[in-house]
Amino acid sequence: MLARLLKKPFVRAYATNNQLFLSKDVSKDIPTHELFQKLGFTKQPSSGLVHWLPLGLRILRNVENIIHTEMRRVDAEEVALSSLSAAALWKTTGRWDNRELFKLQDAKGADYCLAPTCEEEITDIVKAHVGSYKDLPLIMYQVARKYRDEKRPRAGLLRGREFLMKDAYSFDVSETHALVTYDKVYGAYKAIFRTLKIPFAIAEADTGDIGGSLSHEWHYVHHSGEDSLFTCSSCGSTSNIEKTLALPEVDSVPVDTAEVRYFLNESKDTLVALYYPVGRTLVPLFLKEEIPDLNTKSTLTDEETLAKFMEGEEIIGKSIIRVMDARLHDRTILPDFPVPFQRGSFTTLTGLPLVEAREGEVCYKCEEGRLERQKAIEVGHTFFLGTRYSAPLNATFTNEFGKPELMSMGCYGIGVSRIIAAIAEVTRDMEGFVWPATIAPFQVTIIEGPGKNYQQTVAMMDGVAQSLKEGGITVNRDFRPLERFGLGKKIRDSNLIGVPLVVIAGKALPRLEIEVRGKRWEQKETYLWQELRARKQE
Ligand code: ATP
Ligand code: MG
Ligand code: MG
Ligand code: MG
How many angstroms separate the alpha carbon of residue 255 from the centre of ligand 1? 29
**For ligand 1, atom 13, which residue shows the shortest CA distance?**
413
Q: What pLDDT, in 10s, does the model give residues 98-107?
A: 889 999 999 9
| CA–CA gap between residue 476 and residue 441 (Å, rounded) | 9
Q: What pLDDT does residue 336 have?
A: 30
Residue with the bigger pLDDT between 250 and 70: it is 70
* pLDDT band with cut points at 50, 70 and 90 for residue 207: low
Q: Are strands 501-505 and 444-448 parallel, antiparallel or unpaired?
A: parallel
Q: What pLDDT does residue 245 have?
A: 67
Judge whether residue 355 has pLDDT over 50: no
Q: What pLDDT does residue 119 have?
A: 98
Judge whether residue 371 has pLDDT over 60: yes
Q: What pLDDT does residue 365 have?
A: 82
Q: Which atom of ligand 1 is nearest to the CA of 148?
A: 27
Closest alpha carbon to 411 in 387, 381, 390, 391: 381
How many angstroms separate the alpha carbon of residue 381 from the centre of ligand 4? 5
Residue 191, Cβ neighbours under 10 Å: how many? 16
- β-bridge mates for residue 326, sequence order: none
| CA–CA gap between residue 331 and residue 305 (Å, rounded) | 14
Query: How large is the average pLDDT for residues 519-536?
Result: 74
Query: How large is the average pLDDT for residues 507-516?
Result: 78
How many angstroms separate the alpha carbon of residue 450 from the centre of ligand 2? 52
Contact (Cβ atoms closer than 8 angstroms) between residue 418 and residue 163: yes
Q: What pLDDT, in 10s, does the model give residues 488-504?
A: 999 999 999 999 889 99
* pLDDT band with cut points at 50, 70 and 90 for residue 459: confident
| CA–CA gap between residue 194 and residue 486 (Å, rounded) | 37
Q: Which residues contact 236 (CB under 8 A, 6 or more apart)?
A: none
**For ligand 1, atom 29, which residue shows the shortest CA distance?**
159
Q: What pLDDT does residue 172 have?
A: 98
Q: What pLDDT does residue 6 have?
A: 26
Query: How large is the average pLDDT for residues 414-428?
Result: 96
Q: What pLDDT does residue 34 have?
A: 92
pTM of the model: 0.79
Average pLDDT, the chain: 77
Q: How many CA atoms lie within 13 A of 120 on its CB side?
A: 21
Q: Which atom of ligand 1 is nearest to the CA of 153?
A: 27
Q: Which residues contact 191 (CB under 8 A, 6 or more apart)?
A: 70, 73
Q: What pLDDT does residue 241 have?
A: 77
Residue with the bigger pLDDT between 50 and 253: it is 50
Judge whether residue 5 has pLDDT over 80: no
DSSP state of 223: T
Q: What pLDDT does residue 338 have?
A: 32
| CA–CA gap between residue 43 and residue 441 (Å, rounded) | 16
**For ligand 1, atom 28, which residue shows the shortest CA distance?**
159
Of the ranges 65-74, 269-278, 497-506, which is most confident? 65-74
| CA–CA gap between residue 512 and residue 347 (Å, rounded) | 59
Q: What pLDDT, in 10s, does the model give residues 168-185?
A: 999 999 999 999 999 999
The one-letter amino acid at 398 = T
Question: Which ligand has the nearest atom to the CA of 418?
Answer: 1
DSSP state of 429: B
Residue 500, Cβ neighbours under 10 Å: how many? 21
Q: How many CA atoms lie within 13 A of 422 on its CB side?
A: 31
Judge whether residue 518 has pLDDT over 60: yes
| CA–CA gap between residue 298 and residue 300 (Å, rounded) | 5
Q: Which residues contact 410 (CB under 8 A, 6 or more apart)?
A: 169, 170, 172, 178, 181, 182, 185, 212, 382, 383, 384, 385
User: E strands along 317-435, which residues?
Assistant: 328-331, 371-386, 396-398, 404-406, 408-415
Q: What pLDDT, in 10s, does the model give residues 32-66?
A: 999 999 999 999 999 999 999 999 999 999 999 99
Residue with the bigger pLDDT between 21 and 310: it is 310
- β-bridge mates for residue 203, sequence order: 217
At residue 18, the 3 state secondary structure works out as helix
Q: What pLDDT does residue 129 have?
A: 95
Contact (Cβ atoms closer than 8 angstroms) between residue 94 and residue 208: no
* pLDDT band with cut points at 50, 70 and 90 for residue 218: very high
Q: What pLDDT does residue 467 have?
A: 85
Q: What pLDDT does residue 531 have?
A: 72
Q: Are strands 371-386 and 102-105 parallel, antiparallel or unpaired?
A: unpaired
Q: Which of 372-381, 493-502, 522-531 has the lowest mean pLDDT?
A: 522-531
- Mutate which of 149, 381, 383, 425 for ligand 1? The one with the most ligand atoms within 8 Å of its CB, which is 381
Judge whether residue 24 has pLDDT over 50: no
Q: What pLDDT does residue 155 have?
A: 87
